[in-house]
Structure 1
Amino acid sequence: MSKLGSAPLSRRSARRWRHRYVKWPMVVFCALAIAWMVIPMYARGEYLFAMLTLILAGAWLAIFANAGAYAWRYVYPGLAGVGLFVLFPLACTIGIAFTNYGSVHQLTFDRAQSVLLERQLQSGKSYGFSLYGQDDAWRLALTDDVNGGLWVSPVFTADDGRERTLVMQASDAPPAGARGTLRAVTRHRQALGRLTLQLPDGARLRISSLRQFSSLRPLYVLGERDSLTDSHSGKEYRPNPATGFYQAVNAEGRFVDGQLSPGYTVPVGWKNFMRVVQDQGIQKPFLAIFVWTIVFSLLTVVLTVAIGMVLACVVQWEALRGRALYRLLLILPYAVPSFISILIFKGLFNQSFGEINLMLNALFGIRPSWFQAPLLARLMLVVVNAWLGYPYMMILCMGLLKSIPDDLYEASAMDGAGPLQNFFGITLPLLIKPLTPLIIASFAFNFNNFVLIQLLTNGGPDRIGTTTPAGYTDLLVSYTYRIAFEGGGGQDFGLAAAIATIIFLLVGGLAILNLKATRLTFD
């Protein structure tokens, strides 16, 4: 009895020992590691990343430290991936949609203010300088070309990354060592920018060009209520929360023309969404592109399903000789990377040297402008996308055809039905039901088919009279990309995020339809 009772007791003791001396020290170590990651993020102002890291890492630590949450250990990696790669970018995109974030409004208010306060104005005479030394040990020599004079700095290291003040001493001769070339000055430009030179008379100098140090003073002086005063002109600037800029004010304190860059990010509410509705330069192309996106997706799905289904029936026809070879040749477009196929088609449709136009010119004497005419450009997109998409549908239909009982075709043959009657009466009804979820998924994919548009037409030909860059072959996703990165008046990430949010709602609706169709199919 003592031997039988001692075994469970020893196992409990070992478990208790691991719990006390192994598990909890590891928990404490992981908690310290999480704090080591989060605190620097928070100190640099990356609050969202710090919060996300704290939540995900803290939840992971709580789950793996709690024995009662054992089942969650298998679910949590997937949930964390969804949160990190889906929900977090989505939340950031929606958040940006309610701001004026763009190429001139990328900074926070504090950062934009600090950038403006760092600007300096030359307020005194300039001195030429030369570098002497080698490797990382250098000495500076200042010269006054007007009144004469030479001052030499102590030895300093050029790449230590610290702000420092060097006290200059008068000298009769330049320092020993080789004089640095302009290339050396350019290479150490950032390090020289962190130096402040103090002359014997108390003057303080900063680098103003690749060959001169000058006496500088701040261009803007911080005043009450975060106002900035131009030390040269005396003009006062105040932050304008409506525009996200420091803007000039008059004697009455009202905003007038004149603003300082860079701007800063401010909330704008529903302004970006209202621009899509109210701005005619955005509304018209948006509605036209939205309709074209739906038409393009529908045409692509219909053509790929029709071509794929017909070809699947043909290559499954037992009387056809060489079926394996035909099947291989028809599947080859699916094996070639799509971007290679798109670039090949771009060359084939070239108006002057493309093989398609050369053939049309030889047969009919015409050379269509595939990339300049809106209708032809859209037709080209549909043709190329159908070529890229039919092999996938053909493979699906080939597998589904195997599940149709042969008895149905035998009974149909006894009734005198022909191939077309068999296709429309048996094959199509039995294939379209299991294909419905995949058709909806294919529609959603082509709704956001950015690669095809970007590589083949880049959205062109362009529309005239629009506020934002837009083309006749743009889909909503490529239109959003062009607003975000190709805007003539600056990149408008806020408007692009608003349109991306609208696209998300549309595609989300398609996903719900897909789920319902799947449920109806397999219930």
Structure 2
Amino acid sequence: MSVNQTTTQAPAPPGEAPDRPVRESHARNWRGGGWGFVVKLVLMALINAFGLLVIYSAFRVENWFILVGMVVIVAAADWIYFSKRTIPLKYLLPGLVFLFTFQIFIFAYTAYIAFTNYGTGHAGTQEQAVEAALIQGERRVDSSPSYPLTVVQQLGVLGFAINDEGTVRVGSEEQPLQDAGEVSGGGAPSEVQGWEVVSRNELLSDPALQQQVVDLRVPVSDDPNEGSLRTRDAVTAAVYLSTMVWDEQAQTITDTTTGTVYHATDHGSFVADDGSALPAGWAVNVGFENFTRLFTDPELAEPIFIVGGWTIVWSVLSVVIPFALGLVIALIYNDARVKGRKWMRVVFILPYAFPAFMSALVFKGMFNAEFGVINDIFFGGANINWLGDPTLARIAVVWVNVWLSYPYWLLVCTGALQAIPQDALEAAEIDGAGKFRRFRSIIFPLLLVSTAPLAISSFAVAFNNFTVIYMFNNGGPAIPGAPFALGYTDILISAIYDISGVSGGRADYGLASALSIIAFLFVGIIAFFSFRQTRKLEEFQ
């Protein structure tokens, strides 16, 4: 038989078992492809279930951006993982989804917030602002009877069920009162169809639940001007009516006690003719107002200019000084004549092993004017206000950051020095070049080739080094007259934190987002031009 010929095995006659090789091949195909397909079905079922949950939630709150985005992601995942023509995308899709979710979406959402007045007093919709205004003016209706009350719940949502002259009426905060059958006698309903009765013992044993019941307001009808049902003792309820009257067509809220009329404005507030405004507003698009405020508002522009200028100085010093110090130490202990240089390197690298926030807190105590060891040991017990003086506070925080970051440059420069070709240095020495000449013409340029990209990234890290600034002095001392809690050692990232109101006080997320966009663009532009300049260094090799 020729070697190029192949043999085929005839199928087994009817009634006989097939040959073993065919049977084993089928078993392998079933075990490999079958179980793999089942696992894929389970994973895709979980992904689709999660996607449908997000889609439903986005639809309920009318967030069309997330709804459309999730529909596209789920549809793309189903098409890619159940198609045989999209094998490369099966590996690319997870990374693309994470890129979209954690990078593109966050940046796009931040940019969207930057063009709104979203913040304290403007955190919701106009409907929520109207509801808040009506609630603030609520008073019990004098003619309202006391209805026998039963506290009920449905799928974790609390509600009220009352006996209204023999008719059971039930509702929740989102669902106005509606009829739910009849009850005999004059007591509270003992059971309500579709609702679970909250027992008296359960109410008495749970203070948090009691507070929820007291805070609960059940609208009497779809018209907010007809008031809501409230209770003080979870036994009886009464109708409370607001002194504020909302006119949807005229877009006004009228205070019936004073006659003051508040008009809805384009800036998301209810403002009266005398200039007074209701505390509750809503978020609206304000265009470039947040960006222009940063440069035109006198109360805000000066503190932001101080913070922005210090941010640049801080970022440059946080790279140049640690780099220079790390390079000097690396040059010293790269010399083979130094005894015990390996152990000394370990000692100098120790600050790199300490958590940054702990080191900042320790130095904060050391720089304390009254009992800090810096004044006691190095300045003879002088009362130097390191944390209260703007200039001294900046010097102190730069020192702390140098102590934390120079070990990184020690490691980088040590590795870069050891990678420099020794034959080039020997040739320069033979030609008569001294140590300074060899360092200036050979060592330093070659060092910059490998360290320049790291310096650029370190500049970006220092530009956003929130931990040291916040933990050491919380950005202080304060800038007099600043509209937010801004200080002389604040950098843009900590200023954004203060403006966003996370640490307390008034929040202005729109302004904080606008400042975030500016900081991002600034770092991006610096990095772009810096990386272009580093290409010139590569020509040296």
Q: Same fold (TM over 0.5)?
A: yes
How far apart, in 1, do the equivalents of 2:228 and 2:454 lie? 72
**Are 1:511 and 2:533 counterparts?**
no
**Are 1:282 and 2:300 counterparts?**
yes
Number of the residue aligned with 1:240: 265
Given the alignment, which residue of 79, 85, 101 partners 1:62?
79
How far apart, in 1, do the equivalents of 2:151 and 2:212 lie? 17
Larger mean Cα displacement after TM superposition, 342-351 or 505-514: 505-514
Q: Which amino acid aligns with 2:72?
A: I
- Cα distance per residue 1:274-303 (max 9 Å; x no partner): 111211222222222222211121122111
Q: Which amino acid aligns with 1:191?
A: V
* Count of aligned positions: 479
Number of the residue aligned with 1:299: 317
**Correspondence 1:253-332 to 2 at 5 A:** 255-332=273-350
Number of the residue aligned with 2:157: 161
1:107–1:157 distance in 2 versus 1, CA, 3 Å: closer
How far apart, in 2, do the equivalents of 1:381 and 1:421 lie? 35
Contact 1:360 1:367 in 2 (8 A): no
Q: Secondary structure at the match of 2:500?
A: helix
Q: Which amino acid aligns with 1:246?
A: F
How far apart, in 2, do the equivalents of 1:268 and 1:197 lie? 33
Kindly state the Cα deviation for residue 156 of structure 1 after the two structures are TM-superposed.
5.8
**Correspondence 1:188-203 to 2 at 5 A:** 188-191=210-213, 193-194=215-216
Larger mean Cα displacement after TM superposition, 53-62 or 396-405: 53-62
Kindly state the Cα deviation for residue 26 of structure 1 after the two structures are TM-superposed.
8.3
- Cα distance per residue 1:326-379 (max 9 Å; x no partner): 0110111111111111111111111111111002332xx633211111111111
Contact 1:218 1:231 in 2 (8 A): no
Q: Secondary structure at the match of 1:66?
A: coil
**Correspondence 1:179-194 to 2 at 5 A:** 187-191=209-213, 193-194=215-216
**Correspondence 1:430-469 to 2 at 5 A:** 430-469=446-485
**Correspondence 1:133-172 to 2 at 5 A:** 161-167=157-163
Instruction: Give me the TM-score of the superposition, normalised by structure 1.
Output: 0.80
- Cα distance per residue 1:410-447 (max 9 Å; x no partner): 33444555444433333212212221111111111111
Q: Which amino acid aligns with 1:217?
A: L
How far apart, in 1, do the equivalents of 2:246 and 2:399 lie? 62
Larger mean Cα displacement after TM superposition, 382-391 or 155-164: 155-164
Q: Secondary structure at the match of 1:79?
A: helix
Q: Which amino acid aligns with 1:65?
A: F
Number of the residue aligned with 2:177: none
Contact 1:158 1:191 in 2 (8 A): no
Where do 5+ consecutive residues of structure 2 fail to align? 1-6, 13-21, 165-184, 188-198, 221-226
**Structure 1 runs of 4+ with >6 Å offset:** 4-7, 21-29, 177-183, 195-198, 209-212, 486-489
Kindly state the Cα deviation for residue 239 of structure 1 after the two structures are TM-superposed.
1.7
Q: Secondary structure at the match of 2:241?
A: strand
- Cα distance per residue 1:115-162 (max 9 Å; x no partner): 4455532121799xxxxxxxxxxxxxx7xxxxxxxx865696799534
Kindly state the Cα deviation for residue 238 of structure 1 after the two structures are TM-superposed.
3.0
How far apart, in 1, do the equivalents of 2:219 and 2:468 lie? 57
Q: Which amino acid aligns with 1:351?
A: A
1:519–1:210 distance in 2 versus 1, CA, 3 Å: farther
**Are 1:217 and 2:241 counterparts?**
yes
Kindly state the Cα deviation for residue 475 of structure 1 after the two structures are TM-superposed.
1.0
How far apart, in 1, do the equivalents of 2:522 and 2:218 lie? 57
Q: Secondary structure at the match of 1:466?
A: coil
1:256–1:210 distance in 2 versus 1, CA, 3 Å: farther
**Correspondence 1:369-518 to 2 at 5 A:** 369-415=385-431, 417-485=433-501, 490-517=506-533
Where do 5+ consecutive residues of structure 1 fail to align? 128-141, 143-150, 172-176, 249-254
Kindly state the Cα deviation for residue 75 of structure 1 after the two structures are TM-superposed.
2.1
1:325–1:5 distance in 2 versus 1, CA, 3 Å: farther
Instruction: Give me the TM-score of the superposition, normalised by structure 2.
Output: 0.77
Kindly state the Cα deviation for residue 218 of structure 1 after the two structures are TM-superposed.
4.0
Q: Which amino acid aligns with 2:240?
A: L
- Cα distance per residue 1:18-52 (max 9 Å; x no partner): 7xx97899878855653343122211233333333
